[in-house]
């Protein structure tokens, strides 16, 4: 059984990753270094990282609020709202991109024109990463012991104190892991961003679009090298989330 699982993981994940690594390393370390130090590559990774960080931060707040409302409040249509939170997962990302272009582009019914700007990129990324923090925090809130909150209230704690001292420590690990996942997803997002971002190098070109451009112009070494950089960033993010989760989980207990 373990053999089958390892075989499946290898085929799907490890071998393709190894292939990219071999390709990137194939031309030697200097070639790899000059590929990743190219100024347009650095600009693309910087832009992607900043946008992803902003998106993760916004999600941490908005996602928690949404999860709170879905768990603690009752209103007509709550079931539908709960179901459509998962829509960004189900929608093909290119369809999401097209929808966002129609909504925020030159023909916008809202009379906004945010297409081909950095704000447009952040909006697209917010759309596709919406479910991460919400779905992370919801189960924790559902399981939270209300009795402790009620005890705090009866002892004279204000709502804010109750939230900060009792509820927040419980959901913090979930918020962290959800934000970390939305950061990682935003770093690699392509379909929803490629239509609305404008793809001007140094201005609105994100890392995934830059890599795609390199593949299209047959710069395979550049593409593989930059892919390794993105992979490393994702790996570091995942390790960091795991470490932070452990730390806050200890505090919660």
* Residues in touch with other proteins (CB under 8 A): 1, 38-40, 43, 101, 105-107, 115-116, 198-204, 213, 216-219
CB-based contact 176:140 (threshold 8 Å) = no
CB of 102 to other proteins, least distance (A): 9
Nearer to other proteins, 221 or 241 (CB): 221
Nearer to other proteins, 116 or 132 (CB): 116
CB of 232 to other proteins, least distance (A): 23
CB of 88 to other proteins, least distance (A): 23
Nearer to other proteins, 203 or 252 (CB): 203
Nearer to other proteins, 107 or 159 (CB): 107
Nearer to other proteins, 203 or 240 (CB): 203
CB of 200 to other proteins, least distance (A): 5
CB of 77 to other proteins, least distance (A): 33
């Amino acid at each position: 059984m373990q053999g089958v699982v390892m075989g499946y993981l290898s085929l799907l994940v490890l071998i393709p990753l190894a292939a990219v690594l071999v390709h990137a390393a194939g031309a030697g370390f200097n070639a790899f270094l000059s590929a990743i130090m190219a100024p347009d590559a650095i600009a693309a990774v910087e832009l992607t990282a900043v946008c992803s960080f902003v998106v993760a931060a916004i999600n941490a707040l908005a996602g928690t609020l949404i999860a709170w409302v879905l768990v603690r409040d009752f209103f007509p249509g709550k079931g539908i709202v709960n179901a459509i939170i998962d829509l960004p997962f189900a929608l093909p990302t290119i369809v999401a991109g097209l929808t966002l272009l129609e909504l925020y582009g030159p023909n916008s019914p809202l009379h906004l024109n945010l297409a081909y700007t950095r704000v447009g990129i952040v909006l697209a990324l917010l759309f596709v990463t919406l479910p991460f923090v919400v779905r992370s925090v919801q189960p924790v809130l559902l399981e939270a012991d209300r009795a402790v909150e009620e005890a705090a209230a009866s002892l004279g704690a204000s709502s804010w104190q109750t939230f900060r001292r009792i509820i927040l420590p419980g959901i913090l690990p979930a918020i962290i892991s959800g934000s970390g996942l939305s950061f990682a997803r935003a770093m690699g997002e392509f379909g929803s961003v490629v239509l609305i971002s404008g793809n001007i190098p140094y201005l609105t070109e994100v890392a995934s679009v830059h890599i795609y451009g390199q593949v299209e112009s047959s710069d395979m070494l550049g593409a593989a090298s930059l892919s390794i950089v993105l992979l490393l960033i994702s790996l570091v993010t995942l390790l960091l989330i795991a470490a932070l989760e452990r730390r806050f989980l200890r505090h919660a207990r």
